[in-house]
Amino acid sequence: MRKIQFIDLKTQQQKVLSAIELAIQRVHEHGMYILGPEVEMLEKELAKFCNVKHAIVCSNGTDALALGLRVKNVKPGHAIFVPSFTFAATAEVVDWMGATPIFIDSLPDTYNMDPKSLENGIQTAIKLGLKPCGIIPVDLFGQPADYDSIQSIANQYQLWVMADAAQSYGATYKKQDVGSIGDIATTSFFPAKPLGCYGDGGAIFTNDDTFAKIIKSIRVHGQGEDKYDNVRIGMNGRLDTIQAAVLLEKLKIFPEEIIKRNEIAKFYTEGLKNVVQTPHVMNDTTSVWAQYTICLPKHINRASFMEDLKNLDIPTVIYYVKPLHQQKAYSHYPTASQKNLPVCEHLSERVVSLPMNPYLDKEQLTYIVDSIENLVNHSIKIPVLNLQN
């Protein structure tokens, strides 16, 4: 059996290497390393892929979020509602604008933003004298958030919605492609994402012509007619042409990789649904399975469980060890309840992410599932197979 990789970029690279080498060579030949023709080509292909009018690529997923907040004119005194159970970037950019992130609890089955907690968070912001402004749901682990419920609340309070799709580009929500949901959507092309480049990269999606024009301006130092005509305060948020070339080639195999990710997730769920809490996908929704994250029973010691799997040559990772509202850098910001957020606090203590990549085979998957079942049920540990490097 081949050695199990948590994220198998090496096998993927072998599949597309010759095409990517040719694509990079074309960039070397024309020499336009910043905003070269591949950048515009990528933007058109990304927009086409998710049925949105505008895709604007940028330097990374965090800058994509910041560009979205800039175009929404977020400033001090504004309250922005973000999930606590996610990566720091979602809240980080709110602080950059001088605004206040209000941390929202999670749903116990999808791990995404809880609409009821969101409503509590809005009331908390009002009590604190802040102006509720916008909502940034995160499509955690590859599945879109409950956008119908979230948008209904947004409409009630006249808030905008910016979808943080850093982990979910390629998924769908009720026949809507991720990227076309919300006033703005953003994503990341960090190498470990379902669609990743060979460095940092990101994108912003919108159907609003004015938003797109402003975002393109901010991306290049607030340029007007050219980069020396500065009509607003901007930033350096450009995507390198070589990264665009890489993404163009990887986008070609992305649909088949999504199919394989879903086949692997189905295998995991069928094998583990009576052993651990497996991820729940909402009706009329698809996931790209950036991670396959289980929740362990209370009687299982997570550290020991992960160590046992490591000894069986099965890599695992915890996303996320600590919710943002419990992180030192963010602990002074409000939460929806002004106290604790019980669901995401529980999840952070019990979740474990299993290997997920399109190149896992049936032998590997069977070995992973059987190993977990034996460990959870306190059965005799199965022997470690002779793995090839």
Region of 134 on the Ramachandran plot (φ > 0 left; ψ -120 to 50 alpha; else beta): beta
Structural domains for the chain:
9-249 (3.40.640.10), 255-376 (3.90.1150.10)
The whole-number pLDDT of residue 379 equals 47
The pairing of strands 184-188 and 202-206 is antiparallel
The whole-number pLDDT of residue 385 equals 52
* Nearest partner of 94 among 81, 106, 108, judged by Cα: 81
Helices 89-96/61-71 angle, 10° precision? 40
Cα–Cα distance between 132 and 370 in angstroms, integer?
48
Q: Angle at Cα 293 formed by Cα 352 and Cα 198, nearest 5°?
A: 100
Each of the 389 residues of the chain gets a pLDDT tens digit; together they read 899 999 999 999 999 999 999 999 999 999 999 999 999 999 999 999 999 999 999 999 999 999 999 999 999 999 999 999 999 999 999 999 999 999 999 999 999 999 999 999 999 999 999 999 999 999 999 999 999 999 999 999 999 999 999 999 999 999 999 999 999 999 999 999 999 999 999 999 999 999 999 999 999 999 998 889 999 999 999 999 999 999 999 999 999 999 999 999 999 999 999 999 999 999 999 999 999 999 999 999 999 999 999 999 999 999 999 999 999 999 999 999 877 999 999 999 999 999 999 999 999 999 999 999 999 987 444 454 555 54
CB 163: neighbour CB atoms within 10 A?
28
Partners of residue 89 on adjacent β-strands: none
The whole-number pLDDT of residue 221 equals 96
Locate 87 and state its tokens: 């990566």
Q: Angle at Cα 64 formed by Cα 58 and Cα 68, nearest 5°?
A: 130
One-letter identity of residue 24? I
The whole-number pLDDT of residue 248 equals 98
Q: Angle at Cα 78 formed by Cα 55 and Cα 212, nearest 5°?
A: 15
Alpha helix stretches (DSSP H) within the chain: 9-30, 37-49, 61-71, 89-96, 115-127, 147-157, 209-219, 241-272, 302-311, 342-350, 362-376
The whole-number pLDDT of residue 358 equals 98
Whether the ω angle into residue 320 lies within 30 degrees of 0, i.e. cis, is: yes
Cα–Cα distance between 379 and 387 in angstroms, integer?
22
The whole-number pLDDT of residue 165 equals 98
